[in-house]
Amino acid sequence: MQTRKRLRIAAQKSGRLSKAGLDLLSRCGLRFRHGRDRLYCDGENLPIDLLLVRDDDIPGLISSGACDLGIVGRNVLAEAMADTNRHGGLRELRALGFARCRLALALPQDEAWRGPQQLEGRRIATSYPHLLQGWLQRHGVQADPVVLSGAVEIAPRLGSADLVCDLVETGTTLAANQLREVVTLLDSEAVLAGAVATPENPRSRLIERLLARLDGVLGGRESRLVMLQAPRAALDAIVALLPAAVSPAITPIEGQPGRMAVQALCSGSIDWQDLEAMRSAGAESLLVLPVEKMLS
pLDDT digits (tens, 9 = 90+) for 158-182: 999 999 999 999 999 999 999 999 9
Q: Does domain 223-290 have CATH number 3.30.70.20?
A: no
CA angle centred on 59, ends 55 and 64, rounded to 5°: 135
- In this prediction, residue 100 has a pLDDT band, given cuts at 50, 70 and 90, of very high
Least confident of 97-111, 138-152, 195-209, 247-261: 195-209
Tell me the residue type at 44: E
Residues 52-98 pLDDT 10s: 999 999 999 999 999 999 999 999 999 999 987 676 789 999 999 99
Q: Give the residue extent of every domain in the chain.
A: 7-99+190-220, 101-188, 223-290
Q: Are 188 and 101 in contact (CB under 8 A)?
A: yes
Residue 1 has pLDDT above 50, yes or no: no
Superfamily of domain 7-99+190-220: Periplasmic binding protein-like II (3.40.190.10)
Contact in structure between 225 and 292 (CB atoms under 8 Å) = no
> How does pLDDT run across 130-144, given as a tens digit for each residue?
999 999 999 999 999
Q: What is the tens place of the pLDDT at every residue in 214-233?
A: 998 988 877 889 999 999 99
Q: For residue 36, what pLDDT is reported?
A: 67
- CB-CB contact of 128 with 209 (8 Å): no
Give the pLDDT confidence score for residue 190 in this predicted structure. Answer: 97
pLDDT tens-digit readout, 23-40: 999 999 999 998 666 789
Which class would CATH give 101-188?
alpha beta
Tell me the C-alpha to C-alpha distance, in Å, between residue 246 and each of 128, 192, 231, 243, 290.
42, 27, 20, 9, 16
Cα gap 277→294, rounded to integer Å: 27
pLDDT of residue 38: 78
Q: List, in order, residues 6 or more apart from 28 with CB less than 8 Å away.
A: 210, 213, 214, 217
pTM of the model: 0.81
